[in-house]
Amino acid sequence: MRIALVGGTGSFGLALAKRVAEAGYDVVIGSRDAGRAAEAAASVGVDGTTNAEACRSADLVVLATKAEAAVTTAAELRDAIGTTPVLSVAAELGFGPNGVLPTTEATSVAARVQDVVDGPVVAGLHSLAARNLGGEAPPDEDVLVCGDDAEAKALVLELAERVTSGRAIDCGPLGSARALEGLTAVIVNVNKRYKAHAGVRLSGIP
């Protein structure tokens, strides 16, 4: 399976690219600038090209841009993405004197991405930090995934299970994405408070 990481030149995109390639997937990093994509991709041993070209060749598109750019980028790439499944990993956060807060928007980033693309959107990987994902070994964490399309969600669950040493957990429909995105704020606050690199593990699941 070929995976395109749109906006994949940031810390999370590069960490995910490294881990996905080690899991045996064919990976291409996309950027608005082909040269920047190629340079970043070379640092983790994968291909790099423009966002549009990356999407056209992919079996799964991962939106790895910053949250504020995710919906706009997806809309711009609508034709290049076509009906290819999209994984939304972004979480909108607010930063204030008392800590990090989840977005006040009524809908999740993932739901807004679904409004502007033709393929199915799956939300997930929000609880994985770039530092943990890019470490020497896969992070010992569970990955939470939600979506409405069963086949697209199965692709993401398989990917998630192969890039961590934990489990990939099906959390239901795409409507749950707002909760998953909000969980990012909780984890950031915990890590700041305890000077940790915490992730998520769910108990009671066989």
Q: Beta strands 143-147 and 121-124: pairing type? A: antiparallel
Segment 137-152 mean pLDDT = 97
Residues 65-109 have pLDDT tens digits of: 999 999 999 999 999 999 999 999 999 999 999 999 998 899 999
Domains contained in the chain, CATH given: 2-194 (3.40.50.720)
| Residue whose tokens read 């408070």 | 193
Q: How many CB atoms lie within 10 A of CB 129?
A: 21
- DSSP alpha helix (H) spans, 45-108: 51-56, 67-76, 78-81
Beta bridge partners of 144: 169
Q: Rounded mean pLDDT of 149-169?
A: 97
Cα 64 to Cα 169: distance, rounded to the nearest angstrom: 20
Q: Which residues face 26 on adjacent strands?
A: 2
Indicate the pTM of the whole model. 0.96
Flag whether pLDDT at 5 surpasses 90.
Answer: yes
What pLDDT sits at residue 143? 97
pLDDT score at 206: 82
Residue with token string 């995105």: 181
Tens-place pLDDT, residues 114-133: 999 999 999 999 999 999 99
